[in-house]
Amino acid sequence: MTHALAGAVLLLWSSIVRTRSIPLSSPVLEPAAQAFVEATANPPYLFDLGPVDGRKTVDEVQSPEIEVPGTEKENLGAVTIFRPAGVAGPLPVVLYIHGAGWVFGNDHTHDRLARELALGVGAAVVFVNYSLSPEARYPVATDENYAALRWVVEHGAEHGLDPARIAVAGDSVGGNMTASLTLTAKERGDVRLAGQVLFYPVTDASFDTGSYHQFAEGYFLRRDAMQWFWDQYTTSEEQRAEITASPLRATTEQLAGLPPALVITAEADVLRDEGEAYAAKLREAGVPVTAVRYLGVIHDFVMLNALRGTHGAGAAIAQAVAFLRGVLAQP
């Protein structure tokens, strides 16, 4: 191809791109996601209820628990261990850090998800019962999460766990604290992590991305709700800027060498863009990354029992299971 012809092709292509740009459109949600959005469209919103009543509401939304046969649950206080029933150890470990805004959530709200991961991966899911905000503010929860990780390393064998095979996972703010934990583990150098799964993670204390504006209201998780959640966690701008609070602000040097990552985002979610930006930055730092945006679903689509039947939730959980099985296959 001559230089003149190549130039003409590029000029034509740029003209097509300029004149045929695709307009921003509203997502077409899966029916269950659309029904959930409509059911939660009007106030009072969770953040209007405050921490105590909000916790009761989240617990009720996730009740009754969906049974996952073939699993066992053992509450040890600081952690709850979910494992496949009747499977002899030592089992590989998925340390799970739950979401729900740092304010809500527990081993009941995430019971079904934790059991599905345990059964699918063939691993023990060590679910961290960290202290909630605003009663406990940053960095209390991140410190407790790391203490739970150290507990697995030091005492896991006593409970049928394999401390040589540990992956970490979390959803929403749990994804935030999972990313934080991987950064701390790298800095301290005292724990080897096989992989990380981040479901629609919070990665930055900023509310100005395209998805934050496009989905600011009307899609379950609102922009003003995230501002309220952050205020419960920490109001300090200095703390919010720390990489263990806003991992997106970590340098590529700080991210280099982190464990392989699976980052899952939802199409209609204020957190979508920052999750994908974090995946891109991990990739830039040389971390093996798989990043997938699931269409037709909203924030919390993996955790919410009401959305478990969506195609998006089923596929995302299956993908997470396959990823975790892979990274935990070898010590």
List 98, 110, 159, 299, catalytic entry: 299
Residues in the chain: 331
Would you state the pLDDT for residue 66? 84
pLDDT digits (tens, 9 = 90+) for 119-140: 999 999 999 999 999 999 999 9
pLDDT tens profile 201-233: 999 999 999 999 999 999 999 999 999 999 999
Residue-wise pLDDT tens digits, 39-57: 999 999 999 999 999 999 9
284-322 pLDDT, tens per residue? 999 999 999 999 999 999 999 999 999 999 999 999 999
pLDDT for position 9 = 42
**What is the DSSP code (8-state) at residue 2?**
-
User: Would you call 195 helix, strand, or coil by DSSP?
Assistant: coil
Contact at 8 Å (CB) between 98 and 128?
yes
Q: Which among 8, 245, 226 has a CA at the least distance from the CA of 101? A: 226
pLDDT, residue 88, reads 84
Active-site position among 204, 269, 273, 300: 269
Given a cut of 80, is residue 158 above it in pLDDT? yes
Residue range 250-269: average pLDDT? Answer: 99
Return the pLDDT at 4: 54
Report all structural domains of the chain as residue ranges with CATH numbers, in order of start: 31-328 (3.40.50.1820)
CA distance 140 to 146: 10
Residue 50 region by backbone torsions, left for phi larger than 0, else alpha for psi between -120 and 50, else beta: left
Question: Residue 16 pLDDT > 50, yes or no?
Answer: no
Residue 107's region, left for phi above 0, alpha for psi from -120 to 50, else beta, is alpha
To the query of whether residue 172 is one of the catalytic residues in this protein, the response is yes
Which has the closest alpha carbon to 215: 29, 16, 10?
29
> The tokens of 140 are what?
């209390």
The question of whether 299 is a catalytic residue gets the answer: yes
List, as one string, the DSSP characters of 87-126. --SPEEEEEEE--STTTS--TTTTHHHHHHHHHHHTSEEE
The C-alpha angle with vertex 123 and arms to 121 and 124, in degrees rounded to 5, equals 140
15 is annotated as an active-site residue? no
Give the separation between CA 25 and CA 305, rounded to whole angstroms.
28
Tokens standing for 268? Answer: 């209609």
Please pick, among 172, 180, 211, 246, the residue that the annotation labels catalytic: 172
